[in-house]
A and B are shown apart, each in its own frame.
Chain A
Amino acid sequence: MSTNSAPLSAQSLSALEAPPSGGASGARDFAHYLATKVVAAVVSFVALLVVGFVIFNLMPSNPVEALTRGRPTSAKQIAVLTRELGLNQPIWERFGHYVVNTLQGHLGYSFQFETPVATLIAQRLWPTILLMGSSTIVSVWLGMWLGIRSGWRPGSLLDRLSTGSAITLWSVPTFYLGIILLVLGSVGFGPIPPLFPAGGMSTPGTVGGFAISHIIDIARHLVLPCLTLVLVVFAQYQMIMRSSMIDEAGNPYLLTARAKGLRDTEVRRRHVVPNALLPSMTLIFLQVGTMISGTITVETVYSWPGLGYLTYQALQIPDLQLLDGTFIIFSGSVIVFNLLADLLYRALDPRVRRS
């Protein structure tokens, strides 16, 4: 997990900054770029399906037994399952079925919940999107704010404080940070009263829907898990923004801006920040992988009814078809977001688009 959670390494930056091939027509050039990136994403997805197939269909010595673990099964049911899963067919045929089923959204059946996996994932998708979305927004804002200020004055008190705390938060496992915040926020500690609910997404027995009270209830449940994810992730955005501010600060156009008589904050706000934002914006998309790993443990700690908690629940049996489903969804979304990052970079930076 260290490779993924390490501060953005040089290779992801250089991958983004690869100069596009110069062509006569910009539109054709873009089509070519788009095609290359989409093909690469499709290849990645096929590789993902191979890995999913190997892990969940080839590695268990007896898939039927692995599937029905924790449930009483008769010999007849086992025979039916063996035929349904096609275990008597050659591997290539099984892989073909696996690919076709996955692409059609047939992700298997969860014996634990007695529900198709696709239905379960659809139910649990929105809480995860809400949690990841809100914490991404907050951590991007916080990271940018701190990164702009600490990168503008490297070595200042703010810079040292924020960089130091970022490195410390780094050494704390995400789930443990979640537990500590859970104790502080929902159990109360010493003079601190319990301020927030301990888990779940809404108070049981309340009316759902779009009633104001229900939305406030969900927001109160969201605070602690969201805060945990923000504390884990904001440091990445801060570091990215800090280094791209430092890069930009060396440029001669700052001298011009100052010579015009702009105040320091104006130089920063109008000239440096817009340029420094460009590389950072796309890197936000590349952080989704870290976010997903964090979501699994944070949702487990707060029993937030999303895909991460679903993964944890599946793990307890283990419910392999369900795990297969969440694995494909999590990893697949990273591939999609990486593709978006590539396209966004191209779209945002006019210098790259024109050349």
Chain B
Amino acid sequence: MTAATSQAPAATAPPRLLALRRFAREFAARRAAMVGLGILVALTILALAAPLFIHASNLDVVNAPGQPLSPPSMRFPLGTDYAGRSIVPLLIWGTRPSLAIAVVATALTMILGSVIGLLAGHHGGTTSRVLMALTDWFIALPTLPLAIALAAVLGQGDTSITIAIAVTSWPGTARLIRAQTLAVEARPFIERVKALGARDSQLVIRHVLPNVAPFVLVSGTLTVSGAIISEVTLAFLGLGNPTDVSWGSMINQAFFQGAVSAGDWWYILPPGIAIVIVALAFTMIGRAVENILNPRMARKP
């Protein structure tokens, strides 16, 4: 970009909008990131539009149209499941809970991680030590047993899976945000803000938070693919909503209704491939965002 184009909008647009534009340009220049974004946009549209062309009768176990576990045919392009339902609408419908839970759980993770990270970074001393000890403790703990325990006590369902994922995945974000808060608060403009008499809450929310926000975004995009895998794992173990169709519950049914021991590949492969594609798409986007916003932190291949 030439000096002229960079100068012209600077007079009108606020600096954050400019940064956003620069980010979008760099993002668009990365092929892997755009592929990942394309996959996600397509899947999101599919998930949102699913109720338009999939009726409750497609998902109903009673009155299923086909024979149970029949291989792909003209009528059922991906065969049927244990109840005789066509796999294709199940697969499309399964996008909805899988994406929704992963996104909501990630949002909760980001809120929890950022609040703890900001508090620990802003308040030094005992607060910081206690919060960081808590974070380290959570990092050391194996996540799946804790998530299982939480989800089991809260009962089957999307809400308990979401909570279980959020409670077990915030520590990484908290660590990152604390480190960035410390870095931001060491900069001179914070001293000026303090000298002008800003309250703690004002300082953190108005000045520190906007500066650490990009790192929350980095952490968030990388958390989603982990959240999807966690969601599917918990649903496979039988903790998902028993009345809904999700990729995890599809694999759960395929496995426990005997499709695996019968080798019914049309039932087992599609949900798994869908999971891997979505997880990879989020990872590709996450790595690109990480590289653009934080080249120093980007992990080596």
Q: Which residues of A are at the interface with B, using a C-beta cutoff of 8 A?
A: 1-7, 9, 11, 44, 47-48, 51-52, 55-56, 59-60, 66, 163, 167, 171-176, 179-180, 182-183, 186-189, 198, 243, 288-290, 292-293, 296-297, 300-301, 311-312, 314-316, 318, 320, 323-324, 326-327, 330-331, 334-335, 338
How extensive is the interface on chain B, given as a class? Answer: 35 or more
Q: Are B142 and A4 in contact (CB under 8 A)?
A: yes
Q: Which of B8-16, B58-66, B117-125, B219-227 contacts A (4 or more CB under 8 A)?
A: B219-227
Chain A residue nearest in CB terms to B154: A59
Q: Are A187 and B229 in contact (CB under 8 A)?
A: no
23 A/B residue pairs, CB under 8 Å, sorted by A: A1-B147, A2-B222, A2-B226, A2-B229, A3-B139, A3-B169, A4-B139, A55-B150, A171-B229, A171-B276, A172-B272, A175-B236, A179-B260, A182-B260, A289-B141, A296-B145, A296-B237, A311-B148, A315-B152, A315-B238, A315-B239, A316-B238, A327-B146
| A38 to B33 Cα, complex, angstroms | 46
Q: Which of chain B's residues have a CB closer than 8 A to the CB of A324?
A: 149
- B181 contacts partner chain A, Cβ-Cβ < 8 Å: no
Q: Are A331 and B268 in contact (CB under 8 A)?
A: no
Q: Are B139 and A320 in contact (CB under 8 A)?
A: no
Q: Are B272 and A180 in contact (CB under 8 A)?
A: yes
Chain B residue nearest in CB terms to A58: B153
Q: Are B140 and A338 in contact (CB under 8 A)?
A: yes
| A243 to B301 Cα, complex, angstroms | 11
Which 6 pairs show the lowest CB-CB distances between chains A and B?
A2-B226, A293-B144, A289-B142, A3-B172, A187-B263, A318-B152
Binary A-proximity of B148-180 (CB < 8 A = 1, otherwise 0) = 111011100000000001001101100100000
Q: Are B226 and A3 in contact (CB under 8 A)?
A: yes
| A324 to B299 Cα, complex, angstroms | 37
Q: Which residues of B are at the interface with A, using a C-beta cutoff of 8 A?
A: 137, 139-150, 152-154, 165, 168-169, 171-172, 175, 222-223, 225-227, 229-230, 232-233, 236-239, 251, 255, 260-263, 265, 268, 272, 275-276, 279-280, 283, 299-301
Q: Are B272 and A176 in contact (CB under 8 A)?
A: yes
Q: Which of chain A's residues have a CB closer than 8 A to the CB of B150?
A: 55
| A327 to B85 Cα, complex, angstroms | 37
For residue A198, give the distance in angstroms from its CB to the closest CB of chain B.
6
Known contacts A7-B299, A55-B153, A330-B142; decide if A198 and B172 are in contact (CB<8 Å). no
Q: Which of chain B's residues have a CB closer than 8 A to the CB of A60?
A: 153
| A1 to B232 Cα, complex, angstroms | 11
Known contacts A47-B137, A171-B283, A174-B233; decide if A323 and B148 are in contact (CB<8 Å). yes
Chain B residue nearest in CB terms to A291: B142
Chain B residue nearest in CB terms to A66: B153
| A56 to B153 Cα, complex, angstroms | 7
Q: Are A172 and B276 in contact (CB under 8 A)?
A: yes
Q: Are B301 and A183 in contact (CB under 8 A)?
A: no
| A311 to B229 Cα, complex, angstroms | 19
| A327 to B144 Cα, complex, angstroms | 9
Q: Which of chain A's residues have a CB closer than 8 A to the CB of B238?
A: 312, 315-316
Known contacts A1-B226, A198-B261, A297-B233; decide if A326 and B145 are in contact (CB<8 Å). yes
Q: Are A289 and B140 in contact (CB under 8 A)?
A: yes
Chain B residue nearest in CB terms to A290: B142
For residue A250, give the distance in angstroms from its CB to the closest CB of chain B.
15
Known contacts A2-B226, A183-B263; decide if A327 and B145 are in contact (CB<8 Å). yes
Q: Are A187 and B251 in contact (CB under 8 A)?
A: no
Q: Are A188 and B299 in contact (CB under 8 A)?
A: no
Q: Are B148 and A179 in contact (CB under 8 A)?
A: no
| A131 to B165 Cα, complex, angstroms | 27
Q: Are B251 and A176 in contact (CB under 8 A)?
A: yes
Q: Are B149 and A5 in contact (CB under 8 A)?
A: no
Known contacts A2-B222, A323-B149; decide if A171 and B144 are in contact (CB<8 Å). no
For A163, A179, A297, the residue with the greatest tally of chain B CB atoms inside 10 Å of its CB is A179
- Which of B141, B153, B171, B232 is close to A173, meaning CB atoms less than 8 Å apart? B232
Chain B residue nearest in CB terms to A9: B172
Q: Which of chain A's residues have a CB closer than 8 A to the CB of B283?
A: 171
Q: Are B276 and A334 in contact (CB under 8 A)?
A: no
Q: Are B141 and A187 in contact (CB under 8 A)?
A: no
Q: Which of chain B's residues have a CB closer than 8 A to the CB of A300?
A: 236-237
Q: Which of chain A's residues have a CB closer than 8 A to the CB of B227?
A: 2
